[in-house]
Amino acid sequence: MKLAVTAPERLAVRTVPVPDPGDLISRLPHPTALAWIRHGEGIAGWGEAARIPVPGGADRFAAAAALLRELFAAADVDDPVDVPGTGPVAFGSFGFDPESPDSTLIVPRRILGRRDGTAWLTTIGDDAEPLTVPTPPHAPAGLRWQDGALPEDAWRQAVAAAVGRIRDGHLGKVVLARDLTARADAPIDARVLLRRLADRFPGCYAFSCDGLVGATPELLIRRTGDDIESLVLAGTTARGTDPADDRARAARLFNSPKDREEHRYAADMVRDALAPLCADLTVPDEPELLTLPNLTHLASPVHGRLTADRSVLDVVAALHPTPAVCGTPTDTAMDLIRELEGMDRGRYSGPVGWVDARGDGEWGIALRCAQIDGPSARLFAGCGIVADSDPDAELAEARTKFGPMQYALHG
């Protein structure tokens, strides 16, 4: 695979410590924001020092990592702060399907970050862009909604067809997604969506990259030196209407054979993918409950130590696609998704995050998100389908999963 990079021959990069900048999202000066923020910490970027379009292919992660290493190795970097996320950083998002050409890495001209009490500003190039907000954000107005690729009845039929294939022994699990579209009266400002998502879902990773905006609860991989972390999420229920109902729903989820099976597929795959890369790897024997404002998930936190100097993108390549967003066996599930979904997911449920010149970075799975294109927004929701899945229940779950982005657009 041959990739092209749009950038100067040599990046001039300077990182300096700065006083606490306060709210990172409020410092973004443009609607086309780049961001990765959780509990108020992370990085926010704007401008474009380099862009790397990534064609589809089985080696797309390795090729992108190699080109980034070349670009960053040639850079003139002054970085006295020297923590993950300082120096040159690329924000990225990859298409879900390996055949998708819809993947991009962007190195911003400005990056404002905060981590563990340390704040910094990275400048690439000579421009002196201010940190004030020259373009005030405006909330979307006049939203009009319509079905995406498959209306609800057709999607129910797709779920039923998938259940039939599973019961016939063709595969163990498949994740089927559906989309929903909205159109506003004016171009949609990513900063407004980020603000609403970060405020309502502070424990999720609020992200924005090249028009893809969302708040994912699922950490695909974090690399800090040799240490890696992942969070496997599979098995979901809506929150209850009161505390007693909430506890009852969580208990049913935790004891549900269907949801435990769905989760086991995902956790086993992550273990199998990471074990060859790690000297030490810890995967819990059974999941725990992760409670969000609108949903409760079965979750398994994973920790490991790499045996070699691998970029976070090399680890992403080993993990994607997980059974939590595709199914198992992977190739069979991918073929069934292409057959039944009736749409191209684009970058929904693909990896999204950032990587720096050390190879450190954080990547999540692009869930609870929308693709913004001017005044249009395309929302996505997916459900894990196994032998015991009920089409009506899966449709209800998909409606719930649309909720965060509908809230982000409506307020």
Closest CA to 236 of 296, 285, 194: 296
CB atoms within 10 A of CB 206: 29
Residues 91, 108: Cα–Cα separation, whole Å:
8
Name the residue with tokens 């923590």. Answer: 83
Helix (H, G, I), strand (E, B) or coil at 338: helix
Q: Which residue is catalytic, options 9, 48, 152, 218?
A: 218
**DSSP per residue, 131-167:** SS-SS------S-EEEE-SS-HHHHHHHHHHHHHHHH
- pLDDT of 3 > 70? The answer is no
Position 9 scores a pLDDT of 67
Helix (H, G, I), strand (E, B) or coil at 123: strand
Mean pLDDT within 343-363: 97
Task: For residue 365, give every residue at least 6 positions away whose Cβ sits within 8 Å of its Cβ, in sequence order, or none.
Answer: 216, 218, 220, 322, 324, 325, 349, 350, 351, 352
Question: How does the average pLDDT of the chain come out, rounded?
Answer: 93
In contact, 313 and 61? CB cutoff 8 Å = yes
Instruction: Classify each residue of 372-389 as buried b or exposed e, where b means 16 or more C-beta atoms within 10 Å of its C-beta.
Output: beebebbbbbbbbbbbeb
Helix (H, G, I), strand (E, B) or coil at 230: strand
- pLDDT of 222 > 70? The answer is yes
Q: Which residue is catalytic, options 173, 262, 341, 394?
A: 173
CATH topology for 12-126+145-410 is Anthranilate synthase (3.60.120)
Mean pLDDT within 240-244: 92
Calculate the CA 150 to chain-centre distance: 23
CB atoms within 10 A of CB 87: 25
Q: Which two tokens stand for residue 400?
A: 């719930």
Residues 254, 297: Cα–Cα separation, whole Å:
9
Q: Which two tokens stand for residue 3?
A: 């990739």
- The answer for 259, left when phi > 0, alpha when psi is -120 to 50, beta otherwise, is alpha
- pLDDT of 7 > 60? The answer is no
Q: Where are the domains of the chain?
A: 12-126+145-410
Residues 398, 380: Cα–Cα separation, whole Å:
9
Position 128 scores a pLDDT of 56
The pLDDT tens digits of the residues spanning 60-79 come to: 999 999 999 999 999 999 99
Q: Which two tokens stand for residue 349?
A: 């449920």
Mean pLDDT within 6-13: 76
Residues 368, 386: Cα–Cα separation, whole Å:
21
Identify whether 173 is a catalytic site residue.
Answer: yes
Alpha helices in 168-321 (DSSP H): 190-200, 243-255, 257-274, 312-319
In contact, 212 and 105? CB cutoff 8 Å = no
The pLDDT tens digits of the residues spanning 16-65 come to: 999 999 999 999 998 989 999 999 999 999 999 999 988 888 899 999 99
Q: Which two tokens stand for residue 370?
A: 């929308």
* Backbone phi and psi for residue 81, each to the nearest 5 degrees, phi listed first: -75, -50
- pLDDT of 129 > 60? The answer is no
Calculate the CA 87 to chain-centre distance: 22
Residues 194, 99: Cα–Cα separation, whole Å:
29
CB atoms within 10 A of CB 78: 12
Lowest mean pLDDT across 7-16, 126-135, 342-351 = 126-135
Identify whether 258 is a catalytic site residue.
Answer: no
Tell me the Cα Rg of the chain: 21
The pLDDT tens digits of the residues spanning 131-169 come to: 555 788 999 999 999 999 999 999 999 999 999 999 999
Specify the pairing of strand 219-224 against strand 212-216.
unpaired
